């Protein structure tokens, strides 16, 4: 089945920019979605269709997708952005229709 | 905002059966697929399967096929996930989520299941 690889952790100082990558074979040919999961809470959609933000998600969150890597960028990181982040794609080629990345813990220093 | 409300924490013994629920508004069940997602303690997210409420068609992940059953009761706007024989390895948080395409737009708060003798 399709595999999505993320770095286990990213550390960033408040006000700086965090970049979280999601690697997969030819991932740029499809669309990628991103979820934020704060400690003890359910996941929340923060980016869908590579670059779109649901209502209520700050403009500090942005996404890109090309080649073998998708990236979630958090600009002007705030303490409240500390969370786990998961990428996700739809894989219509197999039975595992929806595939999640391994997850990245973002720590705000 | 779309709301999904899941049933509460469960503590069960290996071999026991269990059915957990996910209740949404009628509008949700007319327009969205419902998926279930597992999260093992301290681990990532795993898609388990999807059900289409209007005709109850289902797709299961190969990892869970044969071990779980998904269903929906549209009359009470509720989706269900059930096990006939739980294992200790089923200990996890389980989320329901709705989607109309290829991403999960809204999630339930989660149901924690602990299976221990």
pLDDT digits (tens, 9 = 90+) for A15-38: 999 999 999 999 999 999 999 999
Q: Are A95 and B59 in contact (CB < 8 Å)?
A: yes
The C-alpha atoms of residue B7 and residue A63 are separated, in whole angstroms, by 34
Give mean pLDDT, residues A35-63: 97
* Number of Cβ pairs < 8 A linking chain A and chain B: 59
Are B44 and A100 within 8 A, CB to CB? yes
What tens digit of pLDDT does each residue of A40-49 get? 999 999 999 9
Taking residues A87-94, report their average pLDDT: 89
Q: Quick one: pLDDT at residue A79?
A: 96
pLDDT at B42: 94
State the average pLDDT over residues A63-78.
98
With a cut of 50, list the residues of chain B below it in pLDDT.
none
A33 and B104 within 8 Å at the Cβ level: the answer is yes
- By C-alpha distance, which of A43, A63, A21 is closest to B109? A43
Q: Which two tokens stand for residue B54?
A: 């209007």
Closest CA of chain A from B74, distance in Å:
24
A27: helix, strand or coil: helix
Backbone angles phi, psi at A55, to 5 degrees: -60, 140
Instruction: Find the residue in B nearest to A45 (Cα).
Output: B105
What pLDDT band is residue A65 in, cutting at 50, 70 and 90? very high
**Angle value at C-alpha B97, between B94 and B98, nearest 5 degrees:** 160
pLDDT of residue B51: 93
Q: Is there a contact between A97 and B62 if contact means CB atoms under 8 Å apart?
A: no
B67 in contact with chain A, both atoms CB, cutoff 8 A: no
- Helix H segments across B2-105? 26-31
CB A16 within 8 A of CB A77: yes
Rounded to an integer, what distance in angstroms lies between the CA atom of residue B27 and that of residue B8? 23
């Amino acid at each position: 089945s399709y595999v999505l690889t993320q770095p286990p952790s990213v550390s960033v100082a408040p006000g700086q920019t965090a970049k979280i990558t999601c690697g997969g074979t030819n991932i740029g040919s499809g669309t990628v979605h991103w979820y934020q999961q704060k400690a003890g809470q359910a996941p929340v959609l923060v980016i869908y269709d590579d670059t779109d933000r649901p209502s209520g998600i700050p403009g500090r969150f942005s996404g890109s997708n090309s080649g073998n890597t998708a990236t979630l960028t958090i600009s002007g990181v705030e303490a409240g952005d500390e969370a786990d982040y998961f990428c996700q794609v739809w894989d219509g080629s197999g039975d595992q229709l929806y595939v999640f990345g391994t997850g990245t813990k973002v720590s705000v220093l | 905002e779309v709301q999904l409300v899941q049933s509460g924490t469960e503590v069960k013994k290996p071999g026991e059966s269990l059915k957990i629920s996910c209740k949404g508004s009628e509008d949700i069940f007319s327009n969205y697929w419902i998926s279930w997602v597992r999260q093992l303690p301290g681990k990532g997210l795993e898609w388990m399967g999807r059900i289409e409420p209007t005709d109850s068609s289902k797709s299961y992940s190969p990892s869970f096929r044969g071990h779980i059953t998904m269903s929906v009761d549209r009359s009470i706007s509720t989706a269900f996930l059930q096990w006939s024989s739980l294992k200790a390895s089923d200990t996890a948080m389980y989320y329901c989520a709705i989607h109309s395409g290829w991403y999960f737009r809204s999630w339930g708060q989660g149901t924690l299941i602990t299976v221990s003798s």
